[in-house]
Amino acid sequence: MATSTITLKAQCLCRAQTFTATVPVSSLPLKGSSCHCTSCRHVMGALRSSDAVWPGPRENIVTAADATAAAAKGDDGAPVLKRYAHSPRVNVLFCGRCGSGLFFEEWENADEVRQFPDKASYLVFTGVLSVEGEQNKSQSSPLPPVVRFEDHMFVGDTLDGGAACWLRGMNGEGQPATRIWLGRRNKSEEVPLGTIWPALENQPTYEVNLKEVEVEKGTVPIRCHCGGIDLVLHAGEAQREYAEKQRRGEELPWFVDPVTHKLLGSLDACDSCRIAGASEVYTWTFAQLKYISFAGADPCGFPENTTQLRAAISTKESRDPRFGEISFYASSSDVQRYFCGRCSATLFYAVDERPDIVDVAVGLLDSPDGARAESALAWSFVKKMGSRNDMIATWREGMLYAVEKELEEFRIGRGYPKSWRRIALEQAEEAAKSQ
């Protein structure tokens, strides 16, 4: 007989914070929503936040967060659940050790916060939500859908549609597309179902995106919500130097478009990135550290390799104040995940075998042309997302196929050819099949 209950788990990457809820299967799916507002992008590092009402007891969450506040930042080194004031009526709760966002703590309005501080509701970030036992890939029966995403909000903040262009059908193929609002739900213009905003004819064509970066002399700010991360990506300088390198007949890095010389924009489905960034389908770009600097007039002083970066962040005495609130969690012996220790925003993924390169969270790019930062990035639009096997045999499997389908439709609709990255991956796949 099929089980009548299921245990949901909200857990951070380092597993210091774990919250569970056993619910009737009949109560699923939870109602979910995605927010694409500027604030959410800069507090997550992703191109959106996504949440659902937490069906478990609120007391455990409140106790953990209150204990952290009482411990005054957890200076004893114990793992802590931190609060950050995202807005006058919303807090973000995140793990102070690894930076994983876990919950929104939310009131209806700011007056309610003052009058009824103990009446908050809790929304779990869907990126950290799992089903107990779902990693058993050999299970014979499929998992029930855990979340049904009902809408996307504040898509207008993105200017270019952001990730909403790829996530209209994120509930799975054959499921009704989620509703899209340019602002707040039911209080702003709604985009007609089945359409993309902005319309494809109003989006930059491939020919337009062949142009060089011309945004504030080619610089793109990298900023978190609280200002604890304040860096600059010198995308224009990188683009011009890569073009010159190619003219000299030198090989370009794998993440540089050989036609536009822009940096690769990529979608990642891996479990670790999903949990660390608290958002499914995480978006990264890649940059050599020499093209990243502190904000301000003086571009000097930022580390040029990951060993120097790790050492600089680890220094407690005489730490350069320009590093602000940047922290890192070593998720394995050779991987560091950098985030803002005050607001939780994901910043970099660094791995020792690539000492001069970091993955940069696209949601922190403050590009005036839009959330996708296409003046500086060339999106790969691969047919199969990276680490896609992590979503297969989980409740997110339908989302995987739907997003891959929409990515291809979006690429074709804009008249984009297959990217250099996609061609290379497809050639490698064909070569592996022939062996």
Is 303 within 8 Å of 336 (Cβ atoms)? Answer: no
Contact 250, 364 (CB under 8 A): no
Which CA distances in Å does 16 have to 11, 13, 327, 395, 404?
8, 8, 17, 24, 33
pLDDT band of residue 193 (cuts 50, 70, 90) is confident
Of the given ranges (92-101, 113-122, 275-284, 361-370), which has the lowest mean pLDDT? 113-122
Give CB contacts under 8 A, 24+ apart, made by 332-338: 336/306, 336/309, 336/310, 337/13, 337/98, 337/99, 337/276, 338/309, 338/313
Distance of alpha carbon 423 from alpha carbon 389, whole angstroms: 20
**Residue 268 backbone dihedrals phi, psi, to 5 degrees:** -130, 130
- The pLDDT tens digits for 324-339 are 999 999 999 999 999 9
Assign 305 to helix, strand or coil.
Answer: coil
Tell me what pLDDT residue 433 has: 82
Does residue 169 register a pLDDT over 70? yes
Q: How far is Cα 236 from Cα 393, in angstroms, rounded to an integer?
A: 42
- Contacting residues for 250 by C-beta, under 8 A, at least 6 apart: none
Per-position DSSP letters for 372-430, written without gaps between them: T-TTTEEE---SS-BTGGGTTTSTTHHHHHHHHHHHHHHHHHTTPPPPHHHHHHHHHHH
Neighbours of 404 (CB within 10 A): 21
From residue 182, how far is each of 12, 62, 190, 374 by CA, in Å?
Answer: 31, 33, 6, 20
* pTM of the full structure: 0.92
DSSP at 256: B
pLDDT band at 68 (very low <50, low <70, confident <90, very high): low
The span from the first CA to the last CA of the chain, in angstroms, equals: 45
> Taking a C-beta distance cutoff of 8 angstroms, is the pair 172, 401 a contact?
yes
Q: What is the pLDDT of residue 315?
A: 86
The Cα 10–Cα 102 span in angstroms is 7
| Ordered strands of the 263-268 beta sheet | 326-332, 335-340, 346-351, 357-361, 282-288, 263-268, 377-379
Confidence of residue 47 (pLDDT cuts 50, 70, 90): very high
Provide the 3-class DSSP secondary structure of residue 59. Answer: helix
- The Cα–Cα gap between 149 and 177 comes to 9
> Which fold would CATH assign to domain 206-390?
2.170.150
The domain segmentation of the chain, as residue ranges, is 5-149, 206-390
The span from the CA of 214 to the CA of 262, in Å, is: 12
Question: pLDDT per residue over 89-114, tens digit each?
Answer: 999 999 999 999 999 999 888 787 76
Between CA 348 and CA 19 the distance in angstroms is 26
**Which token pair is 240?**
């011009």
- Residue 72: pLDDT above 70? no
pLDDT in tens, 363-418: 999 998 899 999 899 998 888 888 999 999 888 999 999 999 999 999 998 888 88
Nearest CA-CA partner of 309 in 333, 292, 331? 292
Buried b (16+ CB within 10 A) or exposed e, 190-221: ebeeeebbbebeebbeeeebeeebeeeebbbb
Number of neighbours of residue 23 by Cβ within 10 angstroms: 15
How much is the pLDDT for 217?
59
